[in-house]
Each structure stands twice: as structure tokens, then as C-alpha cells.
Amino acid sequence: MLKIGLTGGIGCGKSTAVQRFRELGVPVIEADLIAREVVAIGQPALQEIAGLFGSPSLQADGALNRAWLRQTVFSDPVCLQQLESILHPRIRAEILTKIAACSDSAYVIVDVPLLFEKGYTQLFDRILVIDCLPDQQKLRVRQRDGSDDSVIMSIMQSQIEREARLQQAHDIISNTASITDFYEKIDDLNIKYIKLSEA
């Protein structure tokens, strides 16, 4: 079974690609969903976070106070590092468990937004990057989230540079034209991955 890591900059169309792979019957694992699961109420990671950051890190119902935590860690690199040391080993272990459960499939897609930034490359046989032009990224995120340009730019700057991302990819799907064109490229890649897995 081939293990494909899927990534791309914000607004490039990763979610649309994931949806299409699912329609083709491909198992998809989403790192963002796992990241939410590991900090659910009752999970050891949540207790560790509360122990480290204190009561402001929890809401009244005992759930993670995401807004407070996001503000705290993004303004303090040390806090961010501490948070990531709690989260990433657990996320990685859960990804591996979920990959193992897909062993009957020709290949599995693992959607990891910060694949390069957080050192997930060695988990995969191939890296697939969904790409578009920076101006398209900004426009799409603005339309999707209503974010202003300064927020979008700060997110883009926190991600690996586009050129570096493209250089490390085995496969690149350019999402610069129509949705039909985008789907056709994904469908072609699906056939390629099935053939590779058989080889």
C-alpha cells in the first residue's frame, strides 16, 4: 500500500482534493481532525496542556480554550514549542495507527497541512502538493473565511515557501483553472497511484 502525504498552502484547494479522492473510494486521513481528537475532554494531551498553561487554557465546560491558546502560542515561540511537543508525537502515532487500518487499499491519502514544517515527510512514500498562485490563495481565503489580507499574509508566511514546497513534491496538482480541470488531474493521479501500488 502506498502512503501519500497531501499538503499545500492555505487556499490552494486541499479540502476539494480530499473530497474528490474520497469520491473515488480512496481512504483519507486528516491530521487536523486527529489534532482535535487528541485534545478532546478526557484525553491525556488536554490534561498536559492544562497542567502547562493553567486554567485559562480550558473553557468553563473543561474543553480546550482554542482562541486563548492560539493567541498565547502565536505570540510566544517557546509556548508554541511546548504545545507542539505535547501534540505532534500523539498526532503522528495516531496517523500511523490509521494508516495501518487501511492496509487493504491500494493507497491512502494523509492530509497534513504543515507536512514539511513539522517534519512528517518520512511517514510517506510520496508527497502530493496542491498548488495555485499566491494571488489566488489570498482571493480564495478571503471569499471562504472573510479574513483580511494581513491575517492571510501572516498564515502564508508561517507556512513553508511555495518554491520549497514544490521542490520537495513527488506529484503536483495545479489548481489554477476550472474545477473540472482540477478533478481530471486528480482522477489521472488516482490511476497513476493504483498502478504504482501494483508495481
Numbered residues of the known binding site:
11-16
Helix (H, G, I), strand (E, B) or coil at 24: coil
Q: What's phi and psi for 150, nearest 5 deg? A: -65, -40
For residues 164 and 117, the answer to whether their CB atoms sit within 8 Å is: no
For residues 96 and 123, the answer to whether their CB atoms sit within 8 Å is: yes
Residue whose cell numbers read 501494483? 198
Q: Identify any residues that bridge with 29 across adjacent strands, giving them in sequence order.
A: 110
**Residue 5 CA to chain centroid, in angstroms?**
9
CA distance 19 to 26: 10
- What residue numbers does the annotated binding site for ATP cover? 11-16
Is beta strand 171-174 parallel, antiparallel or unpaired with respect to 28-30? Answer: unpaired
